[in-house]
Amino acid sequence: MGRLDELAMDARLDRKEYDERLAAAQQRFLELRLRLGGQTNGGEIGPGLLVVMEGSDAGGKGGAIKRLVEPLDPRHYSV
């Protein structure tokens, strides 16, 4: 993992690349949720998925979570 002092704080994504990355992340999250928390062969609910978000107050965590869980059924997750 990189160090924060090596992070380019002025880096930006154009809208198209942002939308592509967001769609890929949402799809991956949905796949993980279904694979881990979906029904097993015995019909039982599988284990849950825990996602930890770390950041300062007003750092954008709430918006990131909102965008991440957008494709999920709200009955199947809690924040």
Q: pTM of the predicted model, to two decimals?
A: 0.60
User: Is residue 63 in a domain?
Assistant: yes
User: Is residue 77 in a domain?
Assistant: no
**Is the pLDDT reported for residue 2 higher than 80?**
no
23-77 pLDDT, tens per residue?
Answer: 998 888 888 877 776 665 666 666 777 888 888 887 788 888 888 888 877 877 7
User: Is residue 51 in a domain?
Assistant: yes
* pLDDT band, very low/low/confident/very high, at 19 (cuts 50, 70, 90): very high
User: Is residue 7 in a domain?
Assistant: no
User: Is residue 3 in a domain?
Assistant: no
Backbone angles phi, psi at 38, to 5 degrees: -75, -175
User: Is residue 8 in a domain?
Assistant: no
Q: With b meaning 16 or more CB within 10 Å and e meaning fewer, what string describes 18-41? A: eeeeeeeebeebbeebeeeeeeee
Number of domains in the chain: 1
**Is the pLDDT reported for residue 6 higher than 80?**
yes
Could you tell me the residue range of the domain that residue 34 belongs to? 13-71
User: Is residue 26 in a domain?
Assistant: yes
